[in-house]
Amino acid sequence: MANLLNHPHILQKARIELDEHVGQQNLIDEVDLPKLPYLKSIVSETLRLYPAAPMLVPHFSSEDCKVGGYDVPRDTILLVNAWAIHRDPELWEDPENFKPERFENGKEDYDKVHKLVPFGIGRRACPGSGLAQRVVGLALGSLIQCFEWERVSEEEIDMSEGKGTTMPKAIPLEAMCKARPIINNVHLSI
């Protein structure tokens, strides 16, 4: 959400996509997600810049091998720095900037899919990655669909990362929201 508040044109484009494909009568549902490629691009770009954990699960070499041209002896613990991969200018054009368009319109080609590794890759990738991406898409889509969002001041939101395993924002997000008409159509059932 912080990136969207710093880039209101991206937030507006996502809201238009939601209004066109889901409407203002029904709240976004899981079946709507395939019709929302720009929302998916926003989630992918957010996970590229801010992976849930910057270091992926450690791997242990069971035998001598080569990785990226390096000799790796048996019993070595290997760490993959997803944060560094996602910000590498040799892999990503303009890697420090928030640009969901890099994943839009079929640009999510084979190479790009394999450069984006917030949940790991291969046999040891997080088995919950699909669920996580759907939940994040639904949560973000609901926030965009149900509310108009603004920054609390004209200043851009500080995106500095704090300390910890998951690198939270250093300064918690503060934002203003105003309910959109769809909020009158949302009925919570318990």
Q: What is the pLDDT of residue 187?
A: 64
Residue 15 counted as domain residue: yes
Residue 73 counted as domain residue: no
Q: How confident is the model at residue 184 (pLDDT cuts 50, 70, 90)?
A: confident
Residue 102 counted as domain residue: yes
> Which residue, among 120, 108, 111, 92, has the nearest Cα to 42 in the 3D structure?
108
| Tokens matching residue 80 | 């993959």
Residue 18 counted as domain residue: yes
Q: What is the average pLDDT across 172-187?
A: 89
Q: For residue 91, how many other CB atoms are within 10 A of its CB? A: 15
Q: What are phi and psi of 177, to 5 degrees?
A: -135, 150
Q: What is the pLDDT of residue 190?
A: 38
Pairwise CA distance, residues 171 & 82, whole Å: 23
Q: Is 25 in contact with 184 (CB distance < 8 Å)?
A: no
Q: How confident is the model at residue 176 (pLDDT cuts 50, 70, 90)?
A: very high
Q: What is the pLDDT of residue 106?
A: 60
Pairwise CA distance, residues 40 & 108, whole Å: 11
Q: Residue 189 pLDDT more than 70?
A: no
Q: What is the pLDDT of residue 188?
A: 58
Residue 125 counted as domain residue: yes
Q: What is the pLDDT of residue 114?
A: 66
Domain tally for the chain?
A: 1
Residue 135 counted as domain residue: yes
Pairwise CA distance, residues 88 & 82, whole Å: 10
* Residues 127-172 pLDDT 10s: 999 999 999 999 999 999 999 999 999 999 999 988 887 888 899 9
> 121 vs 59, 83, 116, CA distance in Å?
12, 14, 9
Residue 72 counted as domain residue: no
* Residues 53-108 pLDDT 10s: 889 988 889 999 998 899 999 999 999 999 999 999 999 999 999 999 999 866 54
Q: What is the pLDDT of residue 10?
A: 98
Q: What is the pLDDT of residue 41?
A: 96
Residue 71 counted as domain residue: no
Task: Name the residue range of residue 43's domain.
Answer: 2-54+84-185
Which CATH number goes with the domain that contains 132?
A: 1.10.630.10
Q: Is 81 in contact with 139 (CB distance < 8 Å)?
A: no
pTM of the model: 0.89
Q: Residue 126 pLDDT more than 60?
A: yes
